[in-house]
């Protein structure tokens, strides 16, 4: 009888031990499951972090591209501004050059007009000189004719200290100086 009791006791103990082992296994399985869930959560977090970093890198590359595009556009606009400025300066230079050439042409015309005036003035002066010379020549011709007349129709008194001019007005060739009363023959 006692042996049966012991056997039952042992059997209960064994059963209790089995239950305890099963319970421990269940707890450990639960712990393992929790650990696995935790690991999965960590992995998801890591993947999310990687995705965020990838997105950030992508955005940073896009931002750099956009910045480069802006800089390229700025460079193009700066180049256009430089070319526009050069074109304006070239146009100004052309206008200035044309103004200088117009001024030179005006000065050249003025110089030609002044030269024409000088030439005309010289022609007038030359004509005046010719006229003056003609007048002188006419005067000389008159004087020569007068001298010829005097030589032909008058004589100087033979008295060296008198030398008055005497005109023969018809009559005989016997002459008398009215100043010094010297008598002389006209043709002598
Ligand atoms: Zn005389």
Instruction: Give CA–CA dist 186/155, Å, rounded.
Output: 8
In this prediction, residue 1 carries a pLDDT of 66
Interval between CA 176 and ligand 1 midpoint (Å): 8
Interval between CA 173 and ligand 1 midpoint (Å): 16
Residue 46, token pair as written in the block: 């890591």
Interval between CA 188 and ligand 1 midpoint (Å): 15
> Could you tell me the residue ranges of all domains in the chain?
2-156, 157-188
Burial of residue 116 (CB within 10 Å: 0-12, 13-18, 19+) is exposed
Quick one: CA dihedral 137, 142, 146, 151, positive or negative?
positive
Question: What's this model's pTM, rounded to 2 decimal places?
Answer: 0.38
**3-state SS class at 177:** coil
In this prediction, residue 92 carries a pLDDT of 97
All residues with CB under 5 Å from ion ligand 1? 157, 159, 162, 177, 179-180, 182
pLDDT of the chain, 188 residues: tens digit per residue: 688 888 998 999 999 999 999 999 999 999 999 999 999 999 999 999 999 999 999 999 999 999 999 999 999 999 999 999 999 999 999 999 999 999 999 999 999 999 999 999 999 999 999 999 999 999 999 999 999 988 888 889 999 999 999 988 778 888 889 999 999 998 87
């Amino acid at each position: 009888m006692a042996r049966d009791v012991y056997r039952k006791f042992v059997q209960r103990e064994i059963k209790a031990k089995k239950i305890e082992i099963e319970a421990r296994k269940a707890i450990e399985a639960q712990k393992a499951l929790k650990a696995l869930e935790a690991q999965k959560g960590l992995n998801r977090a890591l993947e999310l972090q990687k995705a965020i970093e990838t997105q950030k890198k992508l955005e940073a590359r896009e931002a750099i591209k956009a910045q480069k595009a802006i800089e390229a556009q700025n460079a193009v606009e700066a180049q256009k501004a430089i070319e526009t400025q050069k074109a304006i300066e070239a146009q100004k230079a052309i206008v200035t050059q044309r103004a200088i050439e117009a001024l030179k042409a005006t000065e050249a015309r003025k110089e030609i007009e002044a030269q024409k005036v000088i030439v005309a003035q010289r022609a007038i002066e030359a004509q005046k000189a010719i006229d003056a010379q003609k007048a002188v020549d006419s005067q000389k011709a008159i004087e020569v004719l007068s001298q010829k007349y005097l030589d032909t129709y008058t004589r100087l008194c033979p008295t060296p200290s008198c030398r008055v001019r005497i005109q023969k007005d018809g009559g005989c060739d016997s002459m008398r100086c009215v100043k010094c009363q010297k008598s002389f023959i006209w043709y002598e």
